[in-house]
Amino acid sequence: MTVLEASPAIGTEVQLSSEPVIETRNLDLVFQTADAPVHALSDIDLTIGKGEFVSLIGPSGCGKTTLLRVIADLEQPTGGTISVNGMTPHEARENRAYGYVFQHSALFPWRTIAKNIALPLEVMGIDKAERDRRVEENLALVDLKGFGRKFPWQLSGGMQQRASIARALAVQPDMLLMDEPFGALDEIVRDHLNEQLLKLWARTKKTVVFVTHSIPEAVFLSTRIVVMSPRPGRIHEIIDCDLGEDRPLDIRETPEFLAIAQRVRDGLRAGHAYDE
Ligand SMILES: Nc1ncnc2c1ncn2[C@@H]1O[C@H](COP(=O)(O)OP(=O)(O)OP(=O)(O)O)[C@@H](O)[C@H]1O
């Protein structure tokens, strides 16, 4: 199925090769605060297809997290429309359509890794045998086999983030929403996790929406990159990242990769001009 998206951003028409799972139209969000209203999102038109890996990139405060939180039903838009898997975000949340991964692992320190992963399954009322099966399956998926009985503080930061990805995957969501999950980690660990995430994505075919500040990370991981501009956050440009699925780390030195990275950098610079 091919879907044509009309977007006010640069690169106005986008051909999606899969059915749309997230669709926003004229999405707006104004936070009411004690001082003055904060216009966080303005006129966001975005369609994300099933199985895509889409990164949101933009300067601090441009609304990346807010957009992810709207998709996740953690914030309510003040204008426009949004559908997630053909449902409202609220219905999608109730249907456990997505798993959410935060910048910091958000694991409970008093529970073992296995019990952290099992927690949402307990809340869902899934029986112990199935919980144990899913814990083992997802530990293996993020290369943490044998670490289930450890506590979070016994694991490195990178391993803790992998455990939170396993927890998000355990509810078997169609989608992963990831808010700068590797932002607090050093470069080498981040490179390694980027490689692992890419393999995981290729294996599971989940739709991923990924917030990052890093241009190389966005280009390395994504099928499309949404470049946002600040105050109020809007989409400046959507860039295709047509590097194929097989992406070893040294792809980052190729002319194709560097050309896309330059386009993203130019987009971020031009987006800043909105502020002036
Ligand atoms: N609950 C809230 N109440 C009021 N203002 C808010 C709230 N949440 C976010 N904001 C404001 O909305 C704007 C967008 O914030 P958001 O966290 O989405 O940006 P971001 O692009 O994710 O930033 P960063 O890259 O620094 O994480 C900012 O100006 C922020 O201060």
**CATH 3.40.50.300, applies to 3-97+175-275:** yes
Is beta strand 207-212 parallel, antiparallel or unpaired with respect to 53-57? parallel
What is the pTM assigned to this prediction?
0.90
Task: Establish whether residue 69 lines the binding site of ligand 1, counting it when its CB lies within 6 angstroms of any ligand atom.
Answer: no
32 lines ligand 1 (CB under 6 A): no
pLDDT at 273: 57
Atom of ligand 1 nearest to the CA of 213: 25
**Residue extent(s) of CATH 3.40.50.300 domains in the chain:** 3-97+175-275
Per-residue confidence (pLDDT) for residue 45, from 0 to 100: 95
- The answer, yes or no, to whether any atom of ligand 1 lies below 6 A from the CB of 61, is yes
Tell me the best of 62, 75, 217, 234 to mutate to test the pocket of ligand 1, counting ligand atoms within 8 Å of each CB and taking the most: 62
The per-residue pLDDT string of the chain (276 residues; one tens digit each, 9 = 90 and over) reads 334 343 444 543 456 778 899 999 999 999 998 888 999 999 999 999 999 999 999 999 999 999 999 999 999 999 999 999 889 999 999 888 889 998 887 899 999 999 999 999 999 999 999 999 999 999 998 889 999 999 999 999 889 989 999 999 999 898 999 999 888 788 888 888 899 899 889 988 899 999 999 999 999 999 999 999 987 889 999 999 999 888 999 999 999 999 999 999 999 988 775 444
**What is the CA(40)–ligand 1 centre distance, in A?**
7
Model pLDDT, residue 192: 86
Complex confidence, ipTM: 0.97
